[in-house]
Amino acid sequence: MSTDSTAALVKSPGAASDGPAEAGPSGRGPRSRSAAAYLRYVAGKLAGAAVSLFAVLVTSFFLFRMIPGDPVKHMTQGRPVSTEQLAAMRREFGLDLPLWQQFTDYCAKALTGDFGMSYQFRAPVIDKITEALPATLLLTGTAFVIYTVLGIWLGARSAWRGGKFGDRFGTAFALTLYSVPSFWLGLLLIVTLSVGVGPIPGVFPTGGMESGGQSGFAHVLDVAHHMVLPVLTLVAVEYARTLLVMRSSLLDEMGSDYLTTARAKGLRDDAVRRRHAVPNALLPTVTLLFVNLGNTVAGAILVETVFSWPGLGGLFYQALSVPDLPLVQGLFFLFAAAVILMNTLADVIYPLLDPRVGR
Amino acid sequence: MDRPEQHGSSTNPRTRRGRLRLLAASGVAAMSLTAGLATPLNPAPHEAEAADGGKKTLTVAVAQSVDSLSPFLAQTLVSTSIHRLMYDFLTNYDAKDNSTVPAMATEWESSDDKLTWTYTIRSDAKWSDGEKVTAEDAAWTFNTMMEDEAAATANGSFTSNFKKVTAPGPDKLVVELKKPQATMTALDVPIVPKHVWEKVDDFSKFNNDQDFPVVGNGPFVLTEYKRDSYVKLTANKDYWRGAPKFDELVFRYYKDQDAAVAALRKGEVSFAAGSPSLTPAQANSLAKADNIKVNEGPGRRFFALAVNPGARTKDGEEFGDGHPALQDAKVREALFTAVDRETIVDRVFQGNAVEGEGYIPPRFGDYFWKPSAEQKRAYDPAKAAELLDDAGYEKNAEGKRVGKDGKPLDFRILCHATDPNDKAVGKYLQEWWGELGIGLKVDCLDNVSDPWAAGEYDLAFDGWSVNPDPDFVLGIHTCAALPNKPKESSATDNFICDKEFDKLYGQQLAEYDPAKRADLVKQMQSRLYDTGYMNVLAYPNAVEAYRTDQIKSITTMPQAAGNIYGQDGYWSWWSAVPADDDAGSEGSGGLSTGAMVGIGVAAVLAIGAGVLFGLRRRATAEDRE
């Protein structure tokens, strides 16, 4: 889709006809000027991202200290512990130090990439995150690819036949799924497709990521099998957004003259849509795409919970309930960093897609 | 499809084809997602057994994460339950009546001055790596906890009164105490193999989850662990008490209880809902299902109302803002007399609870105590009103009781926002106490521990899980448990500090005769009841369910009618007998694996062919343009 779109930008009449894709043979004045402008633009965006990241780093320390609750008391709930044990744990976690000292310790360590030890798991925060990250990326990443492709495709078709039955039905259907709570849909899928109802056989596992005890290709298939329902849930509730954005931006393009020109050339309707209209309507979708991509890291707490997926969403929830401060801070930073990074990336890529940006 | 027509701009065929393609597209999307059907990956558990040469697996659905697999660090119930299975403790509790029975120690005796305990360690036990289990292992475990603060994290309270622990011989363990301690046959500390654990250099960071199988001496050996996916244990065939009947025990994660119930229905797990219990709705629906038994047994928790007696530190410094009227015993008595426990059990717990009496639940028969007829604050709203009238809390013009300070009585109660029972009972209390002329504000918070530790409450919903040895749940009401500084977290439950209660507490801790100690414990409960700062409303039952086509029989604790998950001991999983293979082992879907594979492969092939075909046709169409 993306190679298609950059190539197609060449044909877009609205923009200056030279996309950076063909800026290769330089040497002419305006081009090097535009390259410099682009670099300046990128540097500005990167600086902005760095400032945001630092702000997140600081915020995450104070934000989560406002959560009421005593981690030590929560962790030892219902267990025979003496006051001395409680004091020893507070000392171990550094919770007995004054706040400013906790803060400077945290900053000094965080800048070297060390987010400390998780209170409840007694393991470095980084280890807990790297343990759970692949599971989350696998689940939300797969869902992301499917709902993005599906959303763009269906959105384009919907707009192309705007107002017709297919459009109205498709959009209404997508919106209905969008407004369904994901955990409820997930449970429904478990009850029907996992357990089986009436003639429907229950063919999917009720939860988890793997059966265990398998290796090699069998393991891959096993994980894929476990992934079907959570991915289906995520796609069902997520694809509407991409669809709607794609649909509305394509509708904006519908009356454009260049489409009439394309049709006048005798191009097939399909080709007019795919090569001319869609690429021009894709920009807002690309924004959304990067926002979604940034969010994939944060996982999907509800879906991960319903399907017992061992990912970051579940870890974050667990960390919050203690609150396991180092783990919460580390995860929050990661989530925020992913969004910032993806937004920056989107900013950096925009001028390549649309030369009007960044000038 | 009639492609030639496509060249024109006539809308009609285009739309038609578009619709078809839209349909096909959604079809493909749906099919590719369900393509998992194609893989022979989802055999019901029994089928997996068959493939594994008849290996019997017991799968238990759990929700709580393992915090650590190191017995020195683990605090969550799931982890400590797993440690019960992996490591022997010195003693165990009888499934019948919770009395102490031998485990790693076969005999024990105390010296005349009550300060030295000598345990005889069994000689027929081996670690799973073949080494012999000796007294030295136990001595090393306790000494490590006494010397290393990190190693004391989980179970330090058990050794805080130890002076010295030695192992004069391979079968003799000697513990010297600072003060007499009656809980010496209830040391719930997993004993670890010294030859493995002495290599650990930092106990605060060692989680015991890298090398499998983990060397242990319990009825099961931990062989595999995947975080939040599963914990796998295999039966220890050489276990001295006898090998477990199942070959494998798997704790599988279901973070959502409804999903766990679905897995039980399907037969993916053999047991569901240890902690928390099944909801009444879940239990009712499971009770109707085939091959599933819902087990309701007395729980180990009590559900109580706690009254702030005026928060204070050990030195007597007062803090917090508990209502002064609640210091008046008559007011507390009137409040509790106006509580209808029967209604709470019937309406709030929907019958899945037992009406509250004394402090310790009836499950622990030796220590269970009931108030006498004259002591009991039975539900009697008229008497409650009378008590308030007599004590001088008259109603004002608006019908509200007025305190000694001339202000109407308005109390606050701390409620756990996560516990629907708290909220429901709160509503009833508002009604009952409202009729008395007393206002009640129910403060439901996600985290009650801050206002609680600060003493900023009048009443609170309180509840503890009680152990076979009641020392801990009694100790949290002694003056010694009060915080050192205001608002600091401490062992105290409810800031109770009562000299009489403390005296009895000291006596029971030094009383080594079980019957005499039980009597003292009952006296303590009587005193706690009379002082009226704690009032138990109900003992919630444990409601669990298991598949009878996978588990033929299983020991509950107490044996007559008890629970299965989180027992004090390993009885349930150790004793569980697998059901005969044939009963109900046909896949729940009714399709054989082979048929499913066939259908799946055919479906994938068909989709693949269709897509290929479509792409090719399209490609040629575009080429022509």
* Of the partner residues A80, A83, A228, the one whose CB lies closest to the CB of residue B472: A80
ω into residue B558 within 30 of 0, thus cis?
yes
**B14–A83 C-beta distance less than 8 A:** no
Question: What is the pLDDT, as a whole number, of residue B607?
Answer: 65
How many A/B residue pairs have CB atoms within 8 Å?
222
The percent of residues above 70 in pLDDT, for chain A, comes to 90
Evaluate whether residue A115 is within a structural domain. no
CA-to-CA distance for A208 and B231, rounded, in angstroms? 12
Evaluate whether residue A85 is within a structural domain. no
Question: What is the pLDDT, as a whole number, of residue A21?
Answer: 40
Question: In terms of pLDDT, which residue wins out, B168 or A17?
Answer: B168
Considering the domain architecture, whether residues B117 and B200 belong to the same structural domain is answered as yes
Mutate to test the interface with A, among B11, B17, B20, B42 (most CBs of A within 10 A): B42
Least-confidence region, from A78-87, A90-99, A232-241, B232-241 = A78-87
Considering the domain architecture, whether residues B107 and B188 belong to the same structural domain is answered as yes
A222 touching chain B per CB within 8 A: yes
Q: Would you say A281 and A246 are in contact if contact means Cβ atoms under 8 Å apart?
A: yes
Evaluate whether residue B284 is within a structural domain. no
**Distant-in-sequence, close-in-space partners of A357: CB < 8 Å, separation ≥ 6:** A350, A351
Spell out which residues of chain B touch residue A218, defining contact as CB-CB under 8 Å. Answer: 41
Mean pLDDT of A156-185: 88
Considering the domain architecture, whether residues B532 and B599 belong to the same structural domain is answered as no
Helix axes A165-178, A125-160, angle to 10 degrees: 160
3-state secondary structure of B575: helix
Question: What is the pLDDT, as a whole number, of residue B126?
Answer: 93
DSSP label at residue B203: T
Torsion of CA A305, A311, A317, A320, to 10 degrees: 170
Question: What is the pLDDT, as a whole number, of residue B264?
Answer: 93
Question: What is the pLDDT, as a whole number, of residue B508?
Answer: 92
Q: What is the least distance, in Å, from the CA of A274 to any CA of chain B? A: 12
Give φ, ψ of B253 to 5 degrees. Answer: -85, 125
Q: What token pair was written down for B210?
A: 């890298």
**Which of B409, B414, B366 shows the shortest CA–CA distance to B388?**
B409
- What domain count does chain B have? 3
Evaluate whether residue B582 is within a structural domain. no
pLDDT digits (tens, 9 = 90+) for B513-534: 989 999 999 999 999 999 999 9
- What domain count does chain A have? 1
Residue ranges for chain B with pLDDT beneath 70: 1-53, 274, 581-625
**Which of B524, B526, B527, B535 shows the shortest CA–CA distance to B462?**
B535
Supply the range of the domain harboring residue B171: 71-208
Evaluate whether residue A93 is within a structural domain. no
Q: Of the candidates B208, B226, B258, which is a domain's last residue?
A: B208
Beta bridge partners of B225: B231
Is 80 exceeded by the pLDDT of residue A318?
yes
**Which of A233, A246, A242 shows the shortest CA–CA distance to A194?**
A233
B19 touching chain A per CB within 8 A: yes
Mean pLDDT of A269-298: 84
Evaluate whether residue B404 is within a structural domain. no
Distance from chain centroid for Cα B465:
8
Domain with residue A253: its CATH number is 1.10.3720.10
Q: Of the candidates B208, B233, B259, which is a domain's last residue?
A: B208
Mutate to test the interface with A, among B11, B17, B41, B592 (most CBs of A within 10 A): B41
B268 touching chain A per CB within 8 A: yes
Domain with residue B126: its CATH number is 3.90.76.10
Considering the domain architecture, whether residues B534 and B595 belong to the same structural domain is answered as no
Supply the range of the domain harboring residue A154: 122-351
From chain A residues 163-202, the ones with a CB under 8 A of any chain B CB are: 164-166, 170, 183, 187, 190-191, 193-196, 201-202
Does the pTM surpass 0.90? The reply is no
Evaluate whether residue A262 is within a structural domain. yes
Q: What is the least distance, in Å, from the CA of A59 to any CA of chain B? A: 22
pLDDT digits (tens, 9 = 90+) for A103-142: 888 888 888 878 888 888 888 999 999 989 999 999 999 9
Q: Of the candidates B540, B557, B574, which is a domain's last residue?
A: B540
Mean pLDDT of A35-42: 85
Is residue B390 exposed (0-12), middle (13-18) or buried (19+ Cβ within 10 Å)?
exposed
B254 touching chain A per CB within 8 A: yes
CA-to-CA distance for A63 and B25, rounded, in angstroms? 46
Question: In terms of pLDDT, which residue wins out, B581 or A317?
Answer: A317
B258 touching chain A per CB within 8 A: yes
A112 touching chain B per CB within 8 A: no
Mutate to test the interface with A, among B65, B158, B228 (most CBs of A within 10 A): B228
Evaluate whether residue A207 is within a structural domain. yes
How far is the CA of A164 from the CAs of A306, B16, B271, B547, in angstroms? 37, 11, 52, 52
pLDDT classification of A63: cutoffs 50, 70, 90: confident
DSSP label at residue B173: E
Evaluate whether residue A117 is within a structural domain. no
B178 touching chain A per CB within 8 A: no
3-state secondary structure of B219: coil
Considering the domain architecture, whether residues B385 and B472 belong to the same structural domain is answered as yes
User: Which of the residue ranges A70-84, A165-179, A296-310 has the most confident prediction, judged by mean pLDDT?
Assistant: A165-179
Q: Mean pLDDT over all residues of chain A?
A: 82
Domain with residue B528: its CATH number is 3.10.105.10
ipTM metric: 0.80
